[in-house]
Copies of this chain bind each other. A is one copy, B any other.
């Protein structure tokens, strides 16, 4: 022991500061390392240990990840929501995020609900629409419960045109993007917003339907892979993907015999909307992740979505259940005239892009995005590298040139998020906190960690129940087939 105590000693303190405080007060040199047990409590640590140590979970995750990687979403057409979206009834509105009722909705979603009531003719003015919603005369249901996704408020009403995608036997849907400025998805609902939505239903939707019928289905993964090589991450930057889709659609618009004036108006609209691909990409991500959903035991996250009040996730092995926590306020850049006090809470199904390995997870492919959401190109590169710590694999269809054409990190693992304490990085738009205003900026947001700790606990419980069930089945087997 002599050599150790014969030399000057220093203390490295890991975790609780109070240990170090006493030593520091006594004059000892102390290096402090911030650390807390994964998940922050013993129950979570136990659940994590159980799930990390179980080979059946790893096998389930491989199966889920392979299903996600194998999915090949195809854009097939444009239809009217009431005709094509499964289970969408009259006087029903689909919305972004986990389930929510009118009383708990934030400003942006309430604004969009009021706008949708006007669009559908259910109410003649804002007060009447608000009163209808308060009286419970409108049924609300998450887009995700109807194979659909919608950005920001994510309102899909029965008369709206929707993108129709297919992957394997499954379908996926999304509404059409309205562009920037005063738009329903950001909670704006003035006459110009409703007029544009009517034009989208009357002219844009039918023209796109004809165009897609003329060109035939569009395979989306190759298009998305190309757009990643052209500086899109396809959540907050869709300039390249929108241009590539535009090129495909224009030929169809010309061939389908869309009347000249309509064709010119549609082309001008598409030309001026660099977010046009967003909703298509989101539906493609939904299709890829639905393919991975429902694998018993899998800890792979298949949806992250926000309704402006709650952030919710769904996990492959945890059925239809949502694990929720309070939606955060994003951190980013504001449009002129707005500041942090104007920002509403995180909202939209668009975090499906990050769930599928693009968006914030592929920011290294889109360094120019920092001009829109803040930060530096170096931080964008680091975002992608960091997400490797919480994902199960990489998507070879979505490669990132600056990382030597490595696949983008994909397949968020609930276990790794809790174990590392690293929450997924989400690029997002910011809506005004009050109804009727619209977008105020764009930035980055993280889910609340409790979504993942809750999911972890539920998955560990299920694993325990399955283990017990296996034991019972095994012990019962001899009785069932005594001569086997």
Binding site for B on A (CB under 8 A): 226, 229-232, 239-240, 243-244, 246-248, 250-251, 254-255, 260, 263-264, 267-268, 271, 367-368, 370-371, 376-378, 401-405
* Seed contacts A230-B230, A254-B267; 15 additional CB < 8 Å A-B pairs: A226-B239, A229-B368, A230-B232, A230-B240, A231-B231, A231-B240, A231-B401, A240-B240, A240-B243, A243-B244, A243-B246, A246-B247, A247-B271, A254-B263, A367-B402
Cα–Cα, bound, A431→B5 (Å): 75
Contacts of A403 in B (CB 8 A): 377
Cα–Cα, bound, A425→B264 (Å): 43
Contact A254/B243 with A376-B404, A377-B404 known, Cβ cut-off 8 Å: no
Contacts of A248 in B (CB 8 A): 271
Inter-subunit contact B244/A401 (CB<8 Å): no
Contacts of A370 in B (CB 8 A): 401
Cα–Cα, bound, A236→B232 (Å): 20
Cα–Cα, bound, A151→B397 (Å): 33
19 A/B residue pairs, CB under 8 Å, sorted by A: A226-B239, A229-B368, A230-B232, A230-B239, A230-B240, A240-B240, A243-B243, A246-B247, A247-B271, A250-B267, A250-B271, A251-B267, A251-B268, A251-B271, A254-B254, A367-B402, A368-B401, A377-B403, A378-B404
Query: Which A-B residue pairs are the 4 nearest by beta carbons?
Result: A367-B401, A229-B368, A243-B243, A368-B401
Instruction: With both chains docked as a complex, state the minimum distance between the C-beta of A99 and any C-beta of chain B, in angstroms.
Output: 39
Inter-subunit contact A402/B402 (CB<8 Å): yes
Cα–Cα, bound, A404→B405 (Å): 21
Cα–Cα, bound, A231→B240 (Å): 10
Cα–Cα, bound, A230→B371 (Å): 13
Instruction: With both chains docked as a complex, state the minimum distance between the C-beta of A287 and any C-beta of chain B, in angstroms.
Output: 25
Instruction: With both chains docked as a complex, state the minimum distance between the C-beta of A121 and any C-beta of chain B, in angstroms.
Output: 33
Instruction: With both chains docked as a complex, state the minimum distance between the C-beta of A263 and any C-beta of chain B, in angstroms.
Output: 6
Cα–Cα, bound, A378→B406 (Å): 13
Cα–Cα, bound, A226→B264 (Å): 24
Instruction: With both chains docked as a complex, state the minimum distance between the C-beta of A342 and any C-beta of chain B, in angstroms.
Output: 27
Cα–Cα, bound, A267→B370 (Å): 33
Inter-subunit contact A254/B260 (CB<8 Å): yes
Contacts of A240 in B (CB 8 A): 230-231, 240, 243
Cα–Cα, bound, A250→B249 (Å): 12
Cα–Cα, bound, A96→B82 (Å): 60
Cα–Cα, bound, A86→B116 (Å): 60
Contacts of A230 in B (CB 8 A): 230-232, 239-240, 368
Cα–Cα, bound, A232→B370 (Å): 18
Instruction: With both chains docked as a complex, state the minimum distance between the C-beta of A294 and any C-beta of chain B, in angstroms.
Output: 36
Cα–Cα, bound, A244→B376 (Å): 25
Instruction: With both chains docked as a complex, state the minimum distance between the C-beta of A191 and any C-beta of chain B, in angstroms.
Output: 26
Instruction: With both chains docked as a complex, state the minimum distance between the C-beta of A400 and any C-beta of chain B, in angstroms.
Output: 9
- Which B-chain residue is minimally distant from A246 (CB atoms)? B247
Cα–Cα, bound, A370→B402 (Å): 11
Cα–Cα, bound, A159→B401 (Å): 42
Cα–Cα, bound, A182→B6 (Å): 82
Contacts of A254 in B (CB 8 A): 254, 260, 263-264, 267
Contacts of A255 in B (CB 8 A): 264
